[in-house]
Structure 1
Amino acid sequence: MASLTKHWKEVVAEKRARQAATIPKEWILSNLPPKETLNVIDFPEKCGLLNAKEIDITNSEVDVLLDNMAKGIWSAVEVTTAFSKRAVIAHQLVNCLTEIFIERALLRAAELDEHLKKTGRILGLPISLKDQISIGGIESSMGYVSWVGKYAEKNSVLVDSLESSGAVLYVKTNIPQTLMWPETYNHVFGRTRNPYNRSLTSGGSSGGEGALIGVGSDIGGSIRIPSAFNGLYGLRPSYGRVPYAGCVNSLEGQDSVLSVLGPLANSLGAVKSFMKSVVSQKPWLKDSLAVRKPWDEEEYGLIEHGHGKNLCFGILWDDDVIAPHPPVRRGLEEAKQALIAAGHKVIDWKPLKHLEICKAVGAIWAAAAREDYLAATLPSGEPVISTMHLAIEDPDLAIGGESVPSFRPLTDGISAYELWQVQKLKRDLRQEYLDHWNATVELTGTGRPVDAILSPCAPYVAPPHGLNKNANYTTIWNGLDYTALVLPTGLSVDPVLDAKKPAHTFYNDLDKANYEFYDPETFKDAPISIQLIGKTLEEEAVIAMGEIVDSALKTKLAPSRL
């Protein structure tokens, strides 16, 4: 733990120096693009540090990696080296890493290469982890100064599961202080930026994973928001499907709206491989809260959804609270037309009490959040972060030269009885929403209720730093515990196609502010993503339906990408 005799800024300086020392000196670049260069997504491939094979390795999907490793074309050491180099390049561009332990990873990769020679079993895929996921002997500071020097005594259950499946762990990634933010900044490691446009946020709280790829956590959108903002696939499983035991966290003891772990990846194949690998290790034998559910191939075959034929999707165009910006709407329109062309049906989804559900979730989080955050920050004396605006790093960047108001003022807690009433309300709303979903059987024409819902991931694509102030389009599904998957459309913001529309009739002042905030030039190059939602514990079905939506989009948009 950090020494309480030092000023917190001294602790931060020492930690950053230790972190810098873990980067191989020969991987430190002298040709980094200037800060004014916003889109750096292609820089790793042209910076000169990666050779042709390493570029090929790091651009390959999981099945290709496994096949080439099985054939002896690529070794685990080569694959780990390639991904480590690329992660270090990414870190120098967007500041996405916290812990870097490449030497340890290469030793394990070498062991796995020997294992392959002896047994023929393919092992050795590198995977990064959000900072809160404990790895024995590695720090888990979670962005708190007072937790710097806090080394995990043992692995979290997920780490044991991943390593048993052959993973090579090599870096941990950045998060916001307290985790409870849809952006990523903390006093220890600083801010993570978006590689498509560094003036935009990478999202949060798994913002470091969004700028890389690996495993994040999600209590209100923390996997899906970074996935959407960075053009990745990202799965929010239902409570307990992926083991959480052994991780460090904020709001521990709050078990009405649980945080869950899940993958952020560059392909749906990787999402599926992650889920199959993790549940194959029977995590319920090691984590008392893990759900006893092996991978269900029949569910993946969509046996309850017409075997994937003539599906009916509902589209949530907006939540009756904040209407999304034009790029978000365009992504949903493209998905609708692609699915219709593929022979599926699409109907409008009517939102039911979305604001009430999100308010209930927020009240549960806030019940003791102030005490929780102060307990973590008081030992070091670091301030609790109340805004993600750039001004928190440089006061001269404050809007109009004035201090930036808190996005998240800390409120006093509520009584246990009051908390019980909110939890009861959330329970009742979940039942109401399930009834609402089931009632769509009268509208689909398939004899089934809507198979899945398509939705925005946020009312905008990745916004400028400090301006991601609404997570309701993801939080709603956490409150209902529905499985949710982010799908990149392959599109990005186009100032012509995504021109500002005439003003609509506003739902409220927040909706009006969101409309006035939009300027397509501000969001230039930001990826456009959509969200696919299934019912509770429908991970296999959601992945399978995600493949259908993904394939339809790629088929429809392929000519425009030539």
Structure 2
Amino acid sequence: MSSWEETAAKKRDQLFHKIPTEWVLPKEILDRAKDRLNLTGSFLEELLDSHTRRITSLDSVELVDAVSNGSFTAVQVATAFCKRTAFAHQLNCNLLEILFEPALERARELDCHFSKTNKPIGPLHGLPISLKDQFHVKGGETTMAYVGWIGSFEGEKGTGKEGNFESELVRELVALGAIPIAKTSLTQTLWCAETNNNILGYNWLPHNQELSSGGSSGGQGALQALRGTTLGFGTDVGGSVSIPAAFNGLYSLKPSHGRLPFKGVPNSSPGQHIIPTVVGIFGTDISCLQFGFRSLMAAKPWLSDPHVLEMPWNEDATSQIEDRSKKQKLYFGIMEDDGIVKPHPPILRAVRMVKEALRAKGYKTLAWHPPSHSESESIHSGITNADGCPDVIKRLKLSGEPVIPELETELGDEPQPPISLPQLYEWMRRLKHYREDYHNYWMSTSEGDDDENPVDAVILPVAPHAAVIPGKWYHYTYGNLANTLDRPTVVIPVTTADSHIDLFDLEYKPINETDRNNWLSYDAEKYAGAPASVQILGTNLGEEKLLRLAQAVVDALNDYKLGL
């Protein structure tokens, strides 16, 4: 065993020993789990006691209300979610850091405060949360999926920051009353839509263990698919929140840059701020996203992070959408495919279900044909890979670990030459014009009627497939379009892949080689049971409006499914 393998094995052993003995699952259960396709639902529920099931069935708002009115203590809630998270990790291997001891200590502090004052410490009082292992949390280490970062602070030892430093987002969440209980697995380098690293290995989809949980925040998606928490946080520069949320049947918000704090968070290509990485929120329903985002706005993050805009929660935006919803005045663009790669049958069905649900509600829809996604794809890749990845190579060399198989063709042993400054300026020029062209197309949808607004939001796929068969990713542009545009996007689950309905179309004629590869990768049997989701793309810095629009879509979809 090499030294990096020994270091990774030691880390896994440390994680195991952070799980209380009474929560360790017997080998018989673990063996049964390996033979199952689906770990969610009854399989996990039956392993839990009724008290834990009851608490972990509540959503974020219900949990905070229950602690704030004395129905449960913060310790009871934290214990229940720590236990469920411990089970989820043993079944799915999705945690890179376990924070159960500091979490329970924090819960005791919150209960002590509540008993003395009869008041919660903040709007998230007693709510267990999970975070991608890219955020620093006091009491735990951050690996960001690098073996060379184990036992250090971002690869350096003896800094005094090991276990003592907090990312600004985490500081604010804790001040609001949230309790971090775990940090989740991610892909090595952050640059892959499948989660794999040399510490934990490949992360599988809990709904279907033959498929990927997505990436780069795949561990976060997998943990919440098993309901280890109801509110969680990841990062996104190319779909790294939206994709795992879609694959795992969750809700997510990827905001515009400038709404949530990124201060104190390590990153790949840390100097690249042209298409910036943003913090994204995972939740078990739309109310969780709104609750988490609104709570963070109450913390006034712009006072601590100079890159956050001074934009408090915009109640007027939500009220306006509420009013227009009641008058059936909402207006949505619908993109079934981008003309480059046609989505698989489950995703096409999901988009069409949403379109029919919106029309049944009386909302207006429009076929969406914006500026080419090919240009978005080129711009995104050209800018995010401009530096040649020297930081990634340096981090891999700290331990001598190999690059994961999914990135072997993109990364060598040495950094690639960076592009020239004139080349970078050219990409920036193209980005500026693409955003302008997209904006102009968006605004043109109001032409012809002085009283008509342009589309409120656009419904489109997150990926051309429901989850993905490992190694079968061919087209990422649905997922990273929102980053190229710097627009917020909300993911909602719609249905699940069904091998009896979502049949392979033998008559389909692919329009290019990428489309052909994607289409031939579809296997109705292998995809069965995987969540099929869509994303709702909004306007720049319009997160409050978008969250209310997303709720209107969810409500319309629920009524449609009930035949109302």
TM-score > 0.5, shorter chain as reference:
yes
Q: Distance in 1 between matches of 2:460 and 2:397?
A: 40
Structure 1 residue aligned with 2:17 = 21
Structure 2 residue aligned with 1:109 = 107
Determine which of 308, 320, 325 is the counterpart of 2:344: 325
Determine which of 88, 91, 99 is the counterpart of 1:90: 88
Structure 2 counterpart of 1:500, which letter? Answer: F
- Alignment partner of 1:161 is 2:163: no
Contact 1:218–1:260, Cα closer than 8 Å, also in 2: yes
SS in 1 for 2:332: strand
- Alignment partner of 1:202 is 2:200: no
Structure 2 residue aligned with 1:256 = 274
Q: Distance in 2 between matches of 1:559 and 1:408?
A: 51
Q: Distance in 2 between matches of 1:251 and 1:174?
A: 19
Structure 2 residue aligned with 1:142 = 144
Structure 1 residue aligned with 2:135 = 133
Q: Distance in 2 between matches of 1:128 and 1:369?
A: 32
Structure 2 counterpart of 1:424, which letter? Answer: R
SS in 1 for 2:264: coil
Structure 2 residue aligned with 1:359 = 378
Structure 2 residue aligned with 1:286 = 304
Structure 1 counterpart of 2:277, which letter? Answer: S
Contact 1:503–1:515, Cα closer than 8 Å, also in 2: no
Shift of 1:278: 0.7
Q: Distance in 1 between matches of 2:103 and 2:119?
A: 19
- Counting only pairs closer than 5 Å after superposition, residues 457-536 of structure 1 correspond to structure 2 as 457-489=462-494, 491-536=495-540
- The CA RMSD measured in Å over matched residues stands at 1.9
Number of residue-to-residue matches in the alignment: 537
Shift of 1:387: 1.2
Q: Distance in 2 between matches of 1:304 and 1:338?
A: 18
Contact 2:186–2:219, Cα closer than 8 Å, also in 1: yes
Structure 2 residue aligned with 1:391 = none
CA-to-aligned-CA distance 1:527-546 (integer Å, 9 cap, x gap): 11110010111100110000
Stretch of structure 1 that moved more, 417-426 or 174-183: 417-426
CA-to-aligned-CA distance 1:339-369 (integer Å, 9 cap, x gap): 1111101110003121111111101111124
Determine which of 441, 444, 460 is the counterpart of 1:439: 444
Structure 1 residue aligned with 2:183 = 172
Q: Distance in 2 between matches of 1:273 and 1:224?
A: 18
Contact 2:370–2:441, Cα closer than 8 Å, also in 1: no
Change (3 A) 1:385 1:126: same
Determine which of 449, 453, 460 is the counterpart of 1:455: 460
Contact 1:194–1:211, Cα closer than 8 Å, also in 2: yes
Q: Distance in 2 between matches of 1:304 and 1:425?
A: 37
Q: Distance in 2 between matches of 1:305 and 1:532?
A: 19
Structure 2 counterpart of 1:7, which letter? Answer: S
Structure 1 counterpart of 2:182, which letter? Answer: V
- Alignment partner of 1:406 is 2:409: yes
Structure 1 residue aligned with 2:290 = 272
Q: Distance in 1 between matches of 2:221 and 2:462?
A: 14
- Alignment partner of 1:427 is 2:412: no
CA-to-aligned-CA distance 1:97-133 (integer Å, 9 cap, x gap): 0100201100110111121222232321000000001
SS in 1 for 2:536: strand
Q: Distance in 1 between matches of 2:51 and 2:22?
A: 18
Contact 1:45–1:55, Cα closer than 8 Å, also in 2: no
Contact 2:472–2:518, Cα closer than 8 Å, also in 1: no
Structure 2 residue aligned with 1:395 = none
Q: Distance in 2 between matches of 1:555 and 1:197?
A: 27
Stretch of structure 1 that moved more, 272-281 or 6-15: 6-15
Contact 2:341–2:475, Cα closer than 8 Å, also in 1: no
- Alignment partner of 1:297 is 2:315: yes
Shift of 1:504: 3.1
Q: Distance in 2 between matches of 1:468 and 1:41?
A: 24
Shift of 1:446: 5.7
Q: Distance in 1 between matches of 2:323 and 2:445?
A: 14
SS in 2 for 1:191: coil
SS in 1 for 2:320: coil
SS in 1 for 2:239: coil
Shift of 1:558: 2.9
Q: Distance in 2 between matches of 1:305 and 1:217?
A: 33
Change (3 A) 1:143 1:259: same
Structure 1 residue aligned with 2:334 = 315
CA-to-aligned-CA distance 1:412-450 (integer Å, 9 cap, x gap): 321122112111211111111111111111278961111
Contact 2:474–2:514, Cα closer than 8 Å, also in 1: no
SS in 2 for 1:360: helix
Contact 2:491–2:535, Cα closer than 8 Å, also in 1: yes
Q: Distance in 1 between matches of 2:117 and 2:424?
A: 55
- Percent identity, aligned pairs only, is 37
SS in 2 for 1:185: coil
Q: Distance in 1 between matches of 2:316 and 2:115?
A: 34
SS in 2 for 1:82: helix
- Alignment partner of 1:220 is 2:238: yes
Structure 2 residue aligned with 1:232 = 250
Shift of 1:316: 0.9
Could you list the runs of 5+ residues in structure 1 that have no partner in the other structure?
Answer: 1-5, 389-404
Shift of 1:54: 1.3
What TM-score do the two structures reach when normalised by structure 1?
0.92
Structure 2 residue aligned with 1:188 = 199
Structure 1 residue aligned with 2:118 = 120
Structure 2 residue aligned with 1:537 = 541
Shift of 1:554: 0.8
Structure 1 counterpart of 2:480, which letter? Answer: T
Structure 2 counterpart of 1:36, which letter? Answer: D
Q: Hey, which bits of structure 1, 4+ residues long, moved more than 4 A?
A: 407-411, 443-446
Shift of 1:81: 0.7
Q: Distance in 1 between matches of 2:175 and 2:406?
A: 40
Q: Distance in 2 between matches of 1:77 and 1:330?
A: 43
CA-to-aligned-CA distance 1:28-69 (integer Å, 9 cap, x gap): 111232422111102564443x22121121111122212222
